[in-house]
Amino acid sequence: MTLTSDPTDTRALASVALSIRDISRANETETKTCGSGLAQAPWTFDSMPTYGPGASENDELPAAAPRQGALPAEYQQASEAELHERIIAAKQALGDRVKVMGHFYQRDEVVQHADFVGDSFQLANAAKANPDAEAIVFCGVHFMAETADILTGPHQSVVLPNLAAGCSMADMADADSVEDCWEQLTDLFGSEPDAEGRQPVIPVTYMNSSAALKAFCGRHGGIVCTSSNASTVLEWAFERGQRVLFFPDQHLGRNTAKAMGVPLEQMPLWNPHKPLGGNTEETLRDAKVLLWHGFCSVHKRFTVQQIDKARAEHPGVHVVVHPECPMPVVDAADSSGSTDFIVKAIAAAPAGTTFAIGTEINLVQRLAAENPQHTIFCLDPVICPCSTMYRIHPGFLAWVLEELVAGRVVNQISVPADVAQPAAIALERMLAAVPPVRTA
Ligand code: SF4
């Protein structure tokens, strides 16, 4: 995945950070990015109760969200070229003792150092498949590092370079609210299976959720899903339950269930701030899928108007979006699928295809650089990365790697055994639910 090995030639990277810096220098931040803070170093925001600049800037950060302590000054002050050299040197010193995971949405300056690059499902499998690594450095967000910790052995440490790299969508479904919802549903439906042996409700959590919610699913006969296997997982759940409680992403749940033929009126929203989620008993009894009121602020930015504009300006354009986008956007696109699906769709297309993509800008910009045979652009004209993925800067990566070289594990993500055990049950059910092979 390395686009350049020359640390002085950062222009060769498909770098969103460099684009933002150029926009900032030209004083065009108001129109071309979603926040002037994007041009600042991410540690500027580590002491602030916010997700930081980017798509989740205005989402409410829970008071209990993990915070990052001060990054040592030497890493804040180092040049990009120096950080690049130090990361390479630390990785060489550590050899196979450490594996670096890089999510598709990470900045290029980080992704170029990853041993594995992929979506959350692929990286969960990669972490599990490397039992000999003493440490997994997870350049992604908090729930991904938790999942890696659950799937790896007790002799392995999982490190998240910046503890403030959470996920605003995952935070929209906290364990207390889900327990409260479950109590209300149990009061309404009881806990006995029907004549066909189906439970009243099967909980399904998206991979983008805390370990506590995965554990909740493990304890209550539920399962985890990803955007790659959501329909397979819903089929699994419908076989075992009369209805599904799907959290935290309403859009993935709605888009997937709709494609499976579930009518919209049988997919009520559950608002955790209202009794019965804001529904009548009758609505809940008729429901097939209860959708938690959560969303991804990155994918919520895509609109049907953007698609109309792309079609008007680029006749023949292929519009492909992520299923975390709102339903009208998915319906207006030519295709939709996980990040892995989008990557494969581009790889399989004949040269000269024009793609308008509805997903995170770091991935779109990298795909455009790696596929010069196509024209690839982001549906959203405004540069707006995922706020939390963007919190991982090469300075944090250099710091955690050099600490490992010195024999110290910093920023370790450790899931307690009483949570990890039931969460692993729900995750193993997911890993067994192999997604169907799809071609673009
Ligand atoms: S892109 Fe959306 S779902 Fe993914 S980490 Fe960022 S906020 Fe969370």
Q: 172 or 35: which carries more pLDDT confidence?
A: 172
Q: How far is the CA of 296 from the centre of ligand 1 (A)?
A: 6
Cis bond upstream, residue 248 (ω within 30): yes
pLDDT at 35 over 90: no
| Domain shared by 363 and 255, yes or no | no
Do residues 250 and 292 make contact, with C-beta atoms less than 8 angstroms apart?
Answer: yes
Check residue 432 and give its pLDDT: 80
Q: Is the CB of 386 under 6 A from ligand 1?
A: yes
For the chain, the average pLDDT equals 93
**Same-domain status, 14 and 158:** yes
The span from the CA of 133 to the CA of 348, in Å, is: 33
Give first-to-last CA distance, the chain, whole Å: 22
Residue 101: helix, strand or coil by DSSP?
Answer: strand
Q: Is residue 130 part of a domain?
A: yes
Whether 298 lines ligand 1, by a CB cut-off of 6 Å, is: yes
Q: Are 269 and 331 within one domain?
A: no
| Residues 32, 99 share a domain | yes
Q: Determine the Cα–Cα distance for residues 200 and 242; give it in Å rounded to an integer.
A: 5
Least confident of 3-7, 313-317, 367-371, 400-404: 3-7
For residue 3, being part of any structural domain is answered with no
| Same domain assignment for residues 84 and 224 | no
Q: Are 158 and 145 a contacting pair, CB within 8 Å?
A: yes
Using an 8 Å Cβ cutoff, are 59 and 167 in contact? no
* Whether residue 157 sits in one domain with residue 176: no
Task: Specify the pairing of strand 289-292 against strand 244-247.
Answer: parallel
- Reported as a pLDDT band with limits 50, 70 and 90, residue 6 is very low
Q: Can you list the alpha helix ranges (DSSP code H) found in 197-353?
A: 211-219, 230-240, 250-259, 281-286, 304-313, 327-332, 339-348
Stretch 110-138: mean pLDDT: 94
For a pocket test of ligand 1, which of 57, 120, 139, 168 has the largest count of ligand atoms closer than 8 A to its C-beta? 168
Residues 173-179 have a mean pLDDT of: 97
Give the residue with greater pLDDT, 119 vs 29.
119
Decide: 167 in ligand 1 pocket, CB within 6 A. Answer: yes
Ligand 1 neighbourhood includes 33 CB (under 6 angstroms): no
Rounded to the nearest angstrom, the distance between the alpha carbon of 12 and the centre of ligand 1 is: 26
H or E stretch including 421? helix 417-432
Q: Are residues 258 and 356 in the same domain?
A: no
* pLDDT tier for residue 1 given thresholds of 50, 70 and 90: very low
Helix and strand totals (H; E) in the chain? 19, 13
What mean pLDDT comes out for the span 209-219?
Answer: 98
Q: Given a cut of 80, is residue 53 above it in pLDDT?
A: yes
Given a cut of 60, is residue 7 above it in pLDDT?
no
Cis peptide bond prior to 328, omega within 30° of 0: no
Query: Residues near 379 by Cβ (< 8 Å), separated by ≥ 6?
Result: 302, 306, 307, 310, 319, 321, 356, 357, 358
Q: Note whether 23 and 157 are same-domain residues.
A: yes
Residue identifier of the C-alpha nearest atom 8 of ligand 1: 167
Q: Are residues 139 and 51 in the same domain?
A: yes
**Amino acid 3: pLDDT:** 34
Whether 388 lines ligand 1, by a CB cut-off of 6 Å, is: yes
Q: Is the Cβ–Cβ distance between 71 and 46 less than 8 Å?
A: yes
**21 contacts: CB under 8 Å, gap ≥ 6:** 39
Domain of 315, in residue numbers: 299-378
In degrees to the nearest 10, what's the CA dihedral of 174, 210, 164, 21? -100
What pLDDT is recorded for position 2? 35
- Regarding the beta carbon of 296 and ligand 1, being less than 6 Å apart is answered yes
- CA distances, 330 to each of 108, 221, 311 (Å): 27, 30, 15
Q: Which residue's alpha carbon is at the smallest distance from atom 2 of ligand 1?
A: 296
Calculate the alpha carbon distances from 105 to 86, 193, 340 in Å.
23, 42, 12
Helix residue ranges, H only, 194-229? 211-219
Rounded distance from Cα 9 to ligand 1 centre (Å): 29
Question: Could you tell me if the CB of 141 is within 6 A of ligand 1?
Answer: yes
Residue with CA nearest ligand 1 atom 6: 386
Task: Return the ligand 1 atom nearest residue 169 CA.
Answer: 8
Same domain, 126 and 33: yes
Name the domain count of the chain: 3
Q: How far is the CA of 169 from the centre of ligand 1 (A)?
A: 6
Instruction: Write out the DSSP string of 77-92.
Output: HS-HHHHHHHHHHHHH
Tallying the residues shown for the chain, one arrives at: 440
344 CB-side CA count, 13 A: 14
316 inside domain: yes
Q: How many angstroms does the Cα of residue 22 sit away from the middle of ligand 1?
A: 25
pLDDT digit string (tens) for 309-329? 999 999 999 999 999 999 999
* Chain centroid to CA 148: 14
Q: Is there a domain that residue 342 lies in?
A: yes
Contact between residue 404 and residue 135 where contact means Cβ atoms under 8 Å apart: yes
| 411 dihedral zone (left: phi>0; alpha: psi -120 to 50; beta) | left
Indicate whether residue 389 lines ligand 1 (CB < 6 A): yes
Q: Is the pLDDT of residue 335 over 60?
A: yes
Residue 33, beta-bridge partner list: 383
Nearest CA to ligand 1 atom 5: 167
- Buried b or exposed e, range 226-252, using 16+ CB within 10 angstroms: bbbbbbbbbebbbebbbbbbbbbbbbb
pLDDT bin (cut points 50, 70, 90) of residue 439 is: very low
Question: 4 in a domain, yes or no?
Answer: no
Q: Residue 11: pLDDT above 60?
A: no
311 and 373, same domain (yes or no): yes
Would you place residue 436 in the very low, low, confident or very high pLDDT band (cuts 50, 70, 90)? low
Q: Which residue of 16, 61, 120, 141 sits with most ligand 1 atoms within 8 Å of its CB, as the best mutation to test the pocket?
A: 141
| Residues 37 and 78 both lie in one domain | yes
Mutate to test the pocket of ligand 1, among 208, 209, 250 (most ligand atoms within 8 A of CB): 208
In the reported structure, the alpha carbon of residue 105 is separated from the centroid of ligand 1 by a whole-number distance in angstroms of 9
Ligand 1 centre and the CA of 351: distance in Å? Answer: 31
